[in-house]
């Protein structure tokens, strides 16, 4: 992800900064949306996955109800760098400093560290699951089977399971390793085209498993049965822009992103980080305006370093890839030790900047717009339709629908559903900050982030749904009434009422 698009930034810097700039922000650990004063290294949406609730503490279903269906939407697991950019640009800046004799003693070792990161990414393949990413989905599958043993009992009738992915390699891989693990605990139909059939290549799946309209909606123009979502897609494009199509972002969005970069604290944190590696005069040189560029060999997309803030962002984005590639680093027999180049406070600030961009472009965003999350309506409709058809109408075509996608899928879906951590938009004229908003990338969409719905039915046909968000029992949005106070179970009819679906 490029932190600032050149077109958006150019507009932002040319506009007057009329928004209220909040000089500070409270930092806190990625694992919770609650504000705390503690500061630790933060990784934004590159935080590795951990289940947020022990399964032994899950609420039991009411008497007479048994699980009959489950569905999952999951982000891909931990991965390598999406393309050669953060490593390439950090190396370019470092080489320029080396030529000028502007490296500090600590900075002299950065080039070797960057080379080690690049080598690991090249060996694994850019944009593919790391060993940890494969484990994250394998363990997620194991816990799903353990949570619903009567639905997925080994030795019973083989289960028909539907699997869908965005079609991108890392989403395909996530589905592959999830289903490979699930097969150890679940007998599922493997000879029927209407059900998931085992795949031979982790990153290449049958075209029939792709559903870009529901799982890659931010890049896919609706057509056919999804044509009714075209206005939402067009509104989203008009708001965030489309560089390839020559569409510039909404000026208010550009202004907000430019304001974040122009904050005094952003400049101060960038300088603090870089002067650990480079001489003050070299950082002054960066701040005066430069142009380093990395070109994506796959699509020709360009990422730039124009100043010291961009240089710091490249290094931060290189740093946060480390925890998800710990196995690959270990395999090299060396430690990347990238944390020596930035402090926890600096990481917290740059995590905030990364979070703010995702918040404005994909999440709750501004209070006077909804285009950033209306784009996920096709997916939410698909989730409701599956419970309606498979459970309420008792079609019973499959016991589970498992979807594998991206942060760009989870973030707007959570905002559309108004889930914990994604309930608050930014007021016009006030920048989103960690002090005034609960949104955190490491909470909303870490690697392997997931939203799961378990559907239960009794012998009278009454249907209850329980939601798990990153495996934590989670309430639906405000106004949805559970079966009793404090319960995680909701009547499906109540959820349809609450989210505006016809009875």
Task: Convert the pLDDT of each residue in 162-179 to its tens digit.
Answer: 999 999 999 999 999 999
**E strand or H helix at 400, and its extent?**
strand 400-405
Query: What percent of the chain shows pLDDT beyond 90?
Result: 83
Pairwise CA distance, residues 22 & 255, whole Å: 14
CA 21, distance to chain mean position in Å, is: 26
Is the predicted pLDDT of residue 4 greater than 50, yes or no? no
Which of the pair, 410 or 200, is modelled with greater confidence? 410
Domain contains 341: no
Q: What is the pLDDT of residues 401-440, one digit of tens each?
A: 999 999 999 999 999 999 999 999 999 889 999 999 999 9
Residues linked to residue 201 through DSSP beta bridges, in sequence order: 204
Is the predicted pLDDT of residue 6 greater than 70, yes or no? no
Domain contains 342: no
Q: What is the pLDDT of residue 429?
A: 87
Task: Give the mean pLDDT of 93-115.
Answer: 98
Region for residue 470 given its phi and psi (left: phi exceeds 0; alpha: psi -120 to 50; beta: otherwise): left
Task: Give the mean pLDDT of 287-316.
Answer: 96
Sign, CA dihedral 362-366-367-369, equals negative
Task: State both tokens at 109.
Answer: 């070792």
Task: Give the mean pLDDT of 134-147.
Answer: 97
Pairwise CA distance, residues 445 & 376, whole Å: 15
**Residue 385 main-chain phi, psi, to 5 deg:** -65, -35
Is the predicted pLDDT of residue 156 greater than 80, yes or no? no
Which residues span the domain enclosing 437?
A: 6-78+139-220+367-498
Domain contains 303: no
Q: What is the pLDDT of residue 350?
A: 98
Q: What is the pLDDT of residue 29?
A: 37
Is the predicted pLDDT of residue 1 greater than 80, yes or no? no
Q: What is the pLDDT of residue 7?
A: 33
Q: What is the pLDDT of residue 194?
A: 86
Q: What is the pLDDT of residue 38?
A: 55
Task: Give the mean pLDDT of 242-251.
Answer: 86
Helix or strand or coil: residue 94?
Answer: helix
Domain contains 297: no
**Residue 79 main-chain phi, psi, to 5 deg:** -145, 175
Domain contains 355: no
- Long-range Cβ contacts of 388-392 (<8 Å, 24+ apart): 388/492, 390/68, 390/69, 390/455, 391/68, 391/69, 391/455, 391/457, 391/463, 391/492, 392/461, 392/463, 392/492
Q: What is the pLDDT of residues 64-75, one digit of tens each?
A: 999 999 999 999
Pairwise CA distance, residues 195 & 188, whole Å: 9
Q: What is the pLDDT of residue 35?
A: 42
Helix or strand or coil: residue 393?
Answer: coil
Pairwise CA distance, residues 112 & 104, whole Å: 14
Q: What is the pLDDT of residues 264-277, one digit of tens each?
A: 999 999 999 999 99
Is the predicted pLDDT of residue 19 greater than 50, yes or no? no
Is the predicted pLDDT of residue 233 greater than 60, yes or no? yes
Q: Could you tell me the pLDDT band of residue 57, with boundaries at 50, 70 and 90?
A: very high
Residues linked to residue 165 through DSSP beta bridges, in sequence order: 210, 404
Residue 110 near residue 341, CB atoms below 8 Å: yes
Pairing of strands 292-295, 66-75: unpaired
DSSP 68: E
The mean of the pLDDT values for the chain is 91
Number of domains making up the chain: 1
Domain contains 200: yes
Q: What is the pLDDT of residues 368-389, one digit of tens each?
A: 999 999 999 999 999 999 999 9
Task: State both tokens at 218.
Answer: 């931010």
How much is the CA Rg of the chain, to the nearest whole Å? Answer: 23
Report helix angle 308-319 to 344-362, nearest 10: 100
Domain contains 49: yes
Residue 44 near residue 447, CB atoms below 8 Å: no
Pairwise CA distance, residues 299 & 114, whole Å: 23
Residue 322 near residue 328, CB atoms below 8 Å: no
Task: State both tokens at 33.
Answer: 């949306």
Which of the pair, 59 or 206, is modelled with greater confidence? 59
**What's the first-to-final CA gap in the chain, in angstroms?**
41
CATH number at residue 193: 3.40.50.1240
How far are the Cα atoms of 255, 368, 385, 490 from residue 485, in angstroms, in the given order? 43, 32, 27, 11
Domain contains 261: no
Task: State both tokens at 262.
Answer: 């122009």
Q: What is the pLDDT of residue 24?
A: 35
Pairwise CA distance, residues 76 & 203, whole Å: 12
Is the predicted pLDDT of residue 33 greater than 50, yes or no? no
Pairwise CA distance, residues 135 & 327, whole Å: 11
Residue 4 near residue 304, CB atoms below 8 Å: no
Q: What is the pTM of this model?
A: 0.91
Residue 129 near residue 76, CB atoms below 8 Å: yes
């Amino acid at each position: 992800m490029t932190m600032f698009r050149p077109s958006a930034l150019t507009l932002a810097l040319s506009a007057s900064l009329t928004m209220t700039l909040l000089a500070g922000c409270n930092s806190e650990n990625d694992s919770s949306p609650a504000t705390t004063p503690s500061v630790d290294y933060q990784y934004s949406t590159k935080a590795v996955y951990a289940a947020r609730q022990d399964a032994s503490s899950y609420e039991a279903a009411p008497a007479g109800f048994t699980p009959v269906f489950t569905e999952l939407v999951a982000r891909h697991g931990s991965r390598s760098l999406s393309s050669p950019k953060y490593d390439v640009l950090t190396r370019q800046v470092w080489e320029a400093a080396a030529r000028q004799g502007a490296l500090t003693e600590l900075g002299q070792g950065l080039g070797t560290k960057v080379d080690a990161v690049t080598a690991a990414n090249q060996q694994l393949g850019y944009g593919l699951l790391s060993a940890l990413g494969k484990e994250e989905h394998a363990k997620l599958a194991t816990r799903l089977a353990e949570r619903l043993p009567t639905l997925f009992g080994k030795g019973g009738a083989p289960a028909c399971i539907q699997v869908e992915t965005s079609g991108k390699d890392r989403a395909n891989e996530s589905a592959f390793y999830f289903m490979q693990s699930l097969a150890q605990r679940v007998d599922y139909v493997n000879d029927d085209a209407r059900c998931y059939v085992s795949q031979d290549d982790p990153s290449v799946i049958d075209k029939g498993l792709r559903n870009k309209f529901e799982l890659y909606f931010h890049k896919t123009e609706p057509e056919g049965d999804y044509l009714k979502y075209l206005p939402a897609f067009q509104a989203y494009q008009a708001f965030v822009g489309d560089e390839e199509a020559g569409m510039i972002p909404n000026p208010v969005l550009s202004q907000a992103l430019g304001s974040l970069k122009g904050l005094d604290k952003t400049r101060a944190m960038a300088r603090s980080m870089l002067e650990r590696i480079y001489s003050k005069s070299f950082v002054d040189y960066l701040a005066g305006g430069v142009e380093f560029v990395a070109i994506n060999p796959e699509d020709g997309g360009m990422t730039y370093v124009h100043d010291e803030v961009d240089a710091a962002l490249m290094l931060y984005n290189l740093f946060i890839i480390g925890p998800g590639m710990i196995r690959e680093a270990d395999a090299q027999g060396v430690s990347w030790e990238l944390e020596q180049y930035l402090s926890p406070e600096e990481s917290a600030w740059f995590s905030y900047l990364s979070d703010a961009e995702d918040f404005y472009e994909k999440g709750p965003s501004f209070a006077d717009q909804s285009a950033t999350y209306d784009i996920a309506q096709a997916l939410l409709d698909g989730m409701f339709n599956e419970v309606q058809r498979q459970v309420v109408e008792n079609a019973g075509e499959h016991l589970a629908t498992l979807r594998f996608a991206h942060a760009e899928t989870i973030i707007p879906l959570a905002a559309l559903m108004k889930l914990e951590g994604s309930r608050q938009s930014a007021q016009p004229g006030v920048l989103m900050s960690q002090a005034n908003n609960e949104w955190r990338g490491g909470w909303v969409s870490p690697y392997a982030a997931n939203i799961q719905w378990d559907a239960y039915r009794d012998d009278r046909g009454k249907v209850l749904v329980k939601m798990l968000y990153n495996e934590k029992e989670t309430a639906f949005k405000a106004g949805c009434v559970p079966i009793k106070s404090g319960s995680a179970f909701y009547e499906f009819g109540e959820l349809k009422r609450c989210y505006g679906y016809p009875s």
